[in-house]
Chain A
């Protein structure tokens, strides 16, 4: 049988008919989510049988916790309005024209930021704000870690709370860095940059954002029921033995993975299908390549992460034994699933950040991008190799020692395409007429930080060196140099660069410079100190340490406080400039890409007439 769906038709009359959607927003979402969680919790308490004394596993509390969190999730998504359209489809209908306009946030002012709004620009701003909130929380947790490590004895925070803070800091910062470029700029800027009116699937776009908000609550919830004491990787069977808070981690990752999958499919489809006429792949900006590469890597990686957590939840709540060696499972299974996501994920973070800087380099040097093809090949090479390196995290685990050498080789090979991206950036800067802005300086900062992060990574990729360095603060310093020193530097440069288009205001110049230097100096002080104590042998994830590591830790804590100061200055700059900054011209950087051809504020449908691309986007200084 075939069901015919009704075609949405514009409604006549003055008052738009939007039904229940009008009443749904973030407040109803929280209310319905909380209510559903409470109802499910009470029902579970009443209906689930008690664990018997003879049972080999005790899982009732885990069942109740997970069911309540699922209740929250379903309730929240219902309350925000995510299920309205699917419900209509089930009934053989679709949203009306008025409803679609309402969802797009037409004439709704600031209220649209608190609703299930589909306009990509609103979603981009929502992502920007939530990214800042995530970094704020992660930063606070980082400062608590550093405060506890202020003296070798530790002890300011209870060891278990400390473990949970370390784990939560880790996972929240990973999520923050994953979305920091593709979220705000991939959503706001990318569709305009390719000459599209919106994303391919606007409702999926809204869904991907609100899934992240829904995911945050189980993670916070988990902090109050035992925390996440396993570190961000949540290795099993350790996670299987962890307190109830671990269920918060499981739910958080499952929902976040859904968000990433949805966003990945949406962004990929948008770029492949909706580029402006004349925007051939050779004329597509390198930032677009970076965003697509990022989500293309995430698309296969995050379902695996999702699956790993489903199995973890089943081990806890249903008594399965995927990771329980004593009952036929394997801890290595978890390690493999985790790192099959975990290493491509590093490049999910890095590639769009580096691509953003490659996008800016021609603008601020007034030169074409040096070897566009090499840049594309570099990105493609990283993507290809990054799915073949995951087991370098497991050299010392005892899993398949014969595979150590092949994984060492692939890991070291990835330096080559990474070097290509360095070459493109340096080549673009070479003999360029530098316009010294924060984005320009960020390119130099990235080259410096990424060089240290990359070179120290080569040592870690080497099996004999890794046997010594594994599990030490050296590893922590290394990945902070790559994810923060390179990734976050690129994202902050992107914020300065695209802030005028996203807000219609210029970001305060003086404060952004102050912030830049505080963050960069603080960062290098903090993590060079961490490298030193790591080389001396200080293990990571410890709440107390031997007195010989005191000086290095003190240096790191001073650096961390400097970073925090710089980030707070940036926060002040963003809030102040957004509220009352200097109004931005349409194209303050005199750039050639399409987003700078639309007025501020950007109209709902971006372009009055869809653009046709006729020239190289990096044709600075060329006669076209």
Chain B
């Protein structure tokens, strides 16, 4: 074979090898936190009397990533970013959980999510997100102070349809449009925890003993993959604070997969 043609072939092979190598490196570096499959629970009876199979998820929201979890020991690349994480059934901090912001639930099922909110808060830009929207009964169950040591309510449990827009810690908002034809819009505001307690606990390197607790249930439709995120601008840094943790998947956003 002509020497120069051979050299050209070698360049093509080498070139595609370089592309494959770089691609493999980039793909391996994605540090995807994986997917948490929701646990099955007793059936759920909707307000209209329909009975649905039910699954449950328990999540925590932290003022930083030092809890570890899917970010790794010490909080990973951004220990100062606020973050969602998988929590124990009573709000326990799961520092060894390998998944945290991607969830999978079945279709046509009641999904009950409990969020223990360990962070303080401020005022929402858009008070639309201070309202409970898209849940099965239009409400959420709220506890202002959950005692993580006693594992019980430290204040009265109440049903809410909204919270004051200037007391929002974060929100859990599933965007309505999926990658398929199904639609699912759910948005629940999560009340801030006591500012001083959050600050004091952080100084001691931990989290407040009394997070807020919010529980809500919604019904899934057909299969589809959605993006969820927090609608409270909690990303420290830059304009409107939608940067940093807010613009980095795996902290205040992730995928919500309805499948099976």
Contact = CB atoms under 8 A, between A and B. Distances in A.
Interface of A: 51, 57-59, 61-62, 140, 143-144, 147, 156-161, 165, 226, 229, 236-237, 240-243, 315-316, 321, 323-324, 326, 508, 510-511, 514, 544, 546, 564-565, 568-569, 571-573, 575-576
Nearest to B243: A241
Given A147-B23, A316-B238, 15 more contacts: A58-B236, A158-B29, A159-B249, A241-B242, A323-B239, A326-B240, A508-B4, A510-B2, A511-B4, A511-B8, A514-B8, A565-B12, A568-B8, A568-B12, A571-B11
A89 to B, nearest CB: 40
Interface in B142-163: none
B248 A160 contact: yes
B41 interface: no
A580 to B, nearest CB: 9
Contacts of A324: 239-240
A242 B241 CA distance: 10
A564 B26 contact: no
A143 B19 contact: yes
A544 B237 CA distance: 29
From A159, A229, A514, residue with most partner B Cβ within 10 Å: A159
B4 A58 contact: no
From B4, B8, B236, B242, residue with most partner A Cβ within 10 Å: B8
Nearest to B3: A576
A165 to B, nearest CB: 7
B179 interface: yes
Contacts of B244: 58, 243
A62 B235 CA distance: 14
B200 interface: no
Contact of B22 (A140, A160, A237, A510): A140
What is the interface of chain B mostly: helix, strand, loop, or mixed?
A: helix
**B: contact size bracket:** 35 or more
B1 interface: no
B7 A572 contact: yes
B4 A572 contact: yes
Nearest to B236: A58
Nearest to B233: A241
Interface string B175-198: 000010000000000000000000
Interface in B201-260: 235-244, 246-249
Contact of A569 (B8, B23, B236, B246): B8
Contacts, number: 117
Given A58-B237, A158-B32, A576-B7, A140 B27 contact: no
Contact of A144 (B7, B11, B22, B32): B22
A242 B32 CA distance: 20
B15 interface: yes
A157 B30 CA distance: 6
B50 interface: no
Contacts of A573: 4, 8
B184 to A, nearest CB: 17
A241 B8 contact: no
A229 B244 CA distance: 12
Contacts of A59: 237-238
Contacts of B32: 158
B4 A241 contact: no
Contact of A62 (B11, B19, B237): B237
Contacts of A242: 238, 243, 247
B238 A62 contact: yes
Nearest to A164: B26
Nearest to A331: B239
B19 A157 contact: no
A362 B212 CA distance: 79
Given A241-B247, A242-B243, A572-B11, A161 B29 contact: yes
A240 B242 CA distance: 9
A227 B239 CA distance: 18
Interface string B88-128: 00000000000000000000000000000000000000000
Nearest to A143: B19
B18 interface: yes
Nearest to B18: A140
Nearest to B14: A568
Q: Can you list the 3 inter-chain pairs with the closest CB atoms, starting with the nearest?
A: A158-B30, A240-B239, A572-B11
From A236, A321, A514, A571, residue with most partner B Cβ within 10 Å: A571
Contacts of A240: 238-240, 243
Interface in B1-59: 2, 4-5, 7-8, 10-12, 14-16, 18-19, 22-23, 26-27, 29-32
A201 B19 CA distance: 40
Contacts of B8: 511, 514, 568-569, 572-573, 576
A280 B5 CA distance: 46
A351 B98 CA distance: 54
A145 B162 CA distance: 43
Nearest to A55: B236
A241 B240 contact: yes
Contacts of A144: 19, 22-23, 26
B56 to A, nearest CB: 27
Contacts of B248: 160, 226, 243
A568 B7 CA distance: 10
B223 to A, nearest CB: 13
20 contacts: A57-B237, A58-B237, A58-B238, A61-B237, A62-B238, A144-B23, A159-B249, A161-B26, A165-B26, A240-B240, A241-B246, A243-B243, A243-B247, A315-B238, A315-B239, A316-B239, A510-B2, A568-B11, A569-B8, A573-B8
A571 B235 CA distance: 45
B249 A571 contact: no
Contacts of A236: 239
Contact of A571 (B15, B26, B29): B15
Given A61-B237, A144-B22, A240-B238, A157 B243 contact: no
B7 A57 contact: no
A573 to B, nearest CB: 7
Contact of B19 (A57, A140, A158, A315): A140
A157 B27 contact: yes
Contacts of B241: 58, 241
B198 to A, nearest CB: 12
Contact of B239 (A143, A237, A572): A237
Nearest to A316: B238
B240 A237 contact: yes
Contact of A157 (B26, B246, B247): B26
Contacts of A326: 239-240
A546 B240 CA distance: 32
